[in-house]
């Protein structure tokens, strides 16, 4: 588990070529910024990675990781999520949030009734979606200003104004 002072900024998607280069998937607004937040760590915080971007490639970025020199070593890292120290990341405007800060927050409707807790934040290309665990199962809420008018990280709460048919 990553410490509370780290944020997931990307993942290694596998080898790229035969010389130890990796395909990197960046979760940063500006994908190339991932290299400036280093060193990066695995989820447990036990492995440290020094990343140097080589080129943009289809589906991500080509990168070299210090100490990785073969395709086999690069392939062995496939699926490794990369975490950066929070203090190396930019401060966000008041209306933007790191996904890690949303996970675990309670979700209440506009009347104050508890709906559940944020389990994950998904993005399949059309914007962020909050995955909320409720007593009735999972609920997906679009993470838009209309559907989620209030996010109060300090209070540990999100207020959701559920679209028709979601309640």
What's the chain's average pLDDT? 89
**Are residues 10 and 45 located together in one domain of the fold?**
yes
Across 97-128, b (16+ Cβ under 10 Å) vs e yields: bbbebbeebebbeeeeeebbbbeebeeeeeeb
**Are residues 55 and 126 located together in one domain of the fold?**
no
In a domain, 150, yes or no: yes
Number of domains in the chain: 2
Q: pLDDT tens, 102-128? A: 999 999 999 999 999 999 988 777 788
Q: What single DSSP character describes residue 139?
A: E
Please state, in angstroms and rounded to a whole number, the distance separating the CA atoms of residues 82 and 59: 17
**Are residues 70 and 114 located together in one domain of the fold?**
no
Q: pLDDT tens, 59-104? A: 899 999 999 999 999 999 999 999 999 899 988 877 788 888 899 9
More confident residue, 167 or 153: 153
Q: Is the pTM of this model over 0.85?
A: no
In a domain, 80, yes or no: yes
**Are residues 29 and 81 located together in one domain of the fold?**
yes
């Amino acid at each position: 588990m990553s410490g509370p002072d780290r944020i997931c900024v990307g993942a290694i998607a596998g080898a790229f070529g035969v010389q130890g280069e990796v395909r990197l998937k960046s979760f940063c607004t500006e994908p190339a910024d991932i290299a400036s937040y280093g060193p990066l760590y695995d989820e447990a915080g036990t492995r440290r990675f020094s990343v140097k971007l080589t080129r943009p490639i289809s589906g991500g970025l080509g990168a070299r990781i210090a100490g990785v020199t073969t395709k086999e070593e690069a392939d062995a890292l496939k699926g490794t999520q990369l975490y950066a120290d929070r203090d190396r990341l930019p401060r966000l405007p008041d209306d933007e949030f790191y996904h890690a800060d949303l996970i675990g927050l309670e979700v209440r409707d506009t009347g104050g009734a508890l709906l559940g807790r944020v389990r994950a934040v998904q993005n399949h290309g059309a914007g962020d979606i909050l995955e909320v665990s409720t007593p009735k199962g999972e609920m997906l809420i679009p993470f838009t200003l209309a559907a989620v008018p209030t996010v109060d990280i300090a209070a540990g709460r999100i207020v959701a104004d559920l679209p028709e048919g979601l309640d």
